[in-house]
Amino acid sequence: MAATIKDVARLAGVSQSSVCRALAAPDQVRPATRERVHQAAAQLGYRPNRVARSLSTGRTGNIGLVLPDIANPFFPGVVKAVQRRAREFDLAVLLADTDEDPAAELELISTMTKQVDGFLLCSPRASDEDLRSVSGDTPVVFVNRRVGRLPSVNFDSADGIRQAITHLAALGHRRVAYVAGPRSSWVNRERLRSIRSVATAMDLEVVEAGNVTPTLEGGIAVADQILAASVTAVIAFNDMIGLGLLSGFNARGVNVPADISVVGFDNIPTAGLVNPPLTSVDMPKEQCGRSGVELLVQLLNDREGRAGSRRLLPTQLIVRGSTGPAART
């Protein structure tokens, strides 16, 4: 079997404690001993058993990454960055996909809570109250959601929306639709609020279309409703819905952007590939994953350091072919 600390101790002719110190706190051990221990460890290919370590230190070396749907192309970029940054801190990532279900989310969190040191909750769907209570038990960093003053990483959507609406207004659009995402999504509520406020300020009229699932199907399903709303542009909660709209419009022979302009959020990789390519508000996903891990690590080290640090990442409108001058009405 794998070598344990005892094997190393025996081979090096020292006690367990010394082996442990030689590896964990090298300056507390005489160079000669340290050397012997290192050699013995190397010879046996010794790797400390993380489970045993966890038990005595109370730290697992794992972080939980919880997200609503990894099939949504927004997330893989974040996941990848989280993974990479976590590895640099010698942390492993436990992944949980909640299928957009708030109850499943809480259930998964509570199941995982003993095996992780902290959570990165991406776009969580649960209520503020429930999330607050999770955050009371375990260190948590929220991603793409703000819960009071708790640590979080967010995108400056408000600014993205300002850019998008300014862009549309400059193209002569006066009446635009907003296709809302899941009702349980905090980001959705935030975006709706920003859009209302920016639109009012810029004297645009906003028509709100029902909540749909943030998927292609959701966008396709709502296309008719948008066409009936006699708007010249539509802003979708995210790119998946935006792509669904493009697909729906195309199927109905509606020309984008000549007849109607479409703007999405997230700037997922596919956005630039379709025809016409989708104008979208880019979110720096890698930076987001990295920052999330960094904040969490900070939270884990500053034990009880109630420093509710929050980060806001910049967004940027990427103008592509799906937006153009407003159609004559």
Interface ranges with its own copies (CB under 8 A): 2, 47, 49-52, 54-55, 60-62, 65, 69-71, 73, 75-77, 79-80, 83-84, 87, 92-97, 99, 108, 110-112, 114-115, 216, 243, 246-247, 250, 269-270, 273-275
- Give the per-residue contact string, 11-30, with DNA (x = CB under 7 A; - = no): --xxxxxx-xx-xx--xxxx
For 302, other C-beta atoms within 10 Å of its C-beta total: 12
Angle between helices 128-137 and 102-112 (to 10 degrees): 0
* Nearer Cβ to its own copies (97/190): 97
Please report how close the Cβ of residue 134 comes to DNA at its closest, in angstroms.
Answer: 20
Pairing of strands 175-179, 233-236: parallel
Which among its own copies, DNA, none contacts residue 24 (Cβ within 5 to 8 A by kind)? Answer: DNA
Dig out the tokens for 262 from the structure: 């479409």
Which among its own copies, DNA, none contacts residue 57 (Cβ within 5 to 8 A by kind)? Answer: DNA
Please report how close the Cβ of residue 121 comes to its own copies at its closest, in angstroms.
Answer: 16
Helix (H, G, I), strand (E, B) or coil at 102: helix
Please report how close the Cβ of residue 246 comes to DNA at its closest, in angstroms.
Answer: 52
Spatial separation of the C-alpha atoms in residues 241 and 324, rounded to whole Å: 19
Q: Does 113 bind DNA (CB under 7 A)?
A: no
Spatial separation of the C-alpha atoms in residues 126 and 21, rounded to whole Å: 44
Identify whether the C-beta of residue 292 lies closer than 8 Å to the C-beta of residue 306.
Answer: no
What's the count of helices (H) and strands (E) in the chain, helices before strands? 12, 12
Which among DNA, its own copies, none contacts residue 70 (Cβ within 5 to 8 A by kind)? Answer: its own copies
Which among DNA, its own copies, none contacts residue 181 (Cβ within 5 to 8 A by kind)? Answer: none
Please report how close the Cβ of residue 92 comes to DNA at its closest, in angstroms.
Answer: 16
Spatial separation of the C-alpha atoms in residues 230 and 275, rounded to whole Å: 23
Which among its own copies, DNA, none contacts residue 84 (Cβ within 5 to 8 A by kind)? Answer: its own copies
Helix (H, G, I), strand (E, B) or coil at 253: coil
For 171, other C-beta atoms within 10 Å of its C-beta total: 16
Which stretches of the chain bind DNA, using CB under 7 A? Answer: 1-6, 13-18, 20-21, 23-24, 27-30, 32-34, 46-49, 52-53, 55-58
